[in-house]
């Protein structure tokens, strides 16, 4: 994605880089309203300054880009996205050393399998829709050919 030549506003707090909502909007292509809506749904949780301004990290921007990908590429609903992000976070915590018993690990494995099934179902539906449009295109092409032959 091309990023505007505008210099992004950022500050360092405790050694971390933060962006304002305008900059996140430019980087992600989302409106500020959409970003705030994702915050209202607890999909993202930006920090706030003492005066109430939202400050976003690179991790927040990556999460927003993941949301966009799940929504646009796979057609996930926002509730499905929320579940996928929560699962991703929990599994990453376990993989990075957080303790978990085998039952918890098995439960997460089952949830991941459900996510895979959901993606496969959406893929099948997309393939069916594509095939229907290809069939329509083929029928139009045949109709055009018949029209040319009749002339």
In a domain, 32, yes or no: yes
CA distances 141 to 73, 136, 138, Å, are 29, 9, 5
Pairing type for strands 54-55 and 47-48 reads: antiparallel
Please check the confidence at residue 2 and state whether its pLDDT lies above 50. no
In a domain, 21, yes or no: yes
pLDDT for 12: 63
- The pLDDT tens digits for 109-140 are 999 999 999 999 999 999 999 999 999 999 99
Non-local (6+) Cβ contacts of 111 within 8 A are 87
Question: 68, 30 in Cβ contact below 8 A?
Answer: yes
Indicate which CATH number applies to the domain containing 68: 1.10.1660.10
Full residue range of the structural domain in which residue 58 is found: 9-74
Question: 74, 120 in Cβ contact below 8 A?
Answer: no
User: How many domains, the chain?
Assistant: 1
pLDDT band of 1, cuts 50, 70, 90: very low
pLDDT band of 13, cuts 50, 70, 90: low
Cross-strand bridge partners of residue 108:
none
**End-to-end Cα spacing for the chain:** 48
In a domain, 101, yes or no: no
Secondary structure of residue 8 in the 3-state scheme: coil
CA distances 114 to 38, 52, 107, Å, are 24, 39, 11
In a domain, 87, yes or no: no
- The pLDDT tens digits for 60-87 are 999 999 999 999 988 899 999 999 999 9
User: Is the whole-model pTM more than 0.85?
Assistant: no
In a domain, 99, yes or no: no
What the block records as the tokens of 116 is 């895979």
């Amino acid at each position: 994605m091309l990023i505007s030549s505008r210099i992004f506003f950022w500050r360092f707090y405790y050694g971390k880089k933060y962006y304002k909502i305008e900059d996140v909007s430019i980087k992600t292509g989302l409106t500020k309203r959409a970003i705030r809506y994702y915050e209202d749904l607890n999909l993202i949780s930006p920090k706030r300054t003492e005066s109430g301004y939202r400050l976003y990290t690179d991790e927040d921007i990556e999460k927003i880009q993941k949301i966009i990908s799940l929504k646009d590429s796979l057609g996930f609903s926002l509730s499905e996205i929320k579940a996928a992000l929560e699962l991703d976070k929990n599994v990453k915590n376990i993989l990075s050393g957080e303790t978990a018993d085998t039952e918890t690990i098995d439960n997460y494995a089952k949830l991941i399998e459900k996510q895979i099934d959901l993606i496969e179902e959406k893929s099948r539906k997309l393939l069916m829709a594509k095939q229907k449009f290809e069939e329509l295109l083929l029928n139009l092409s045949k109709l055009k050919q018949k029209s040319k032959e009749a002339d």
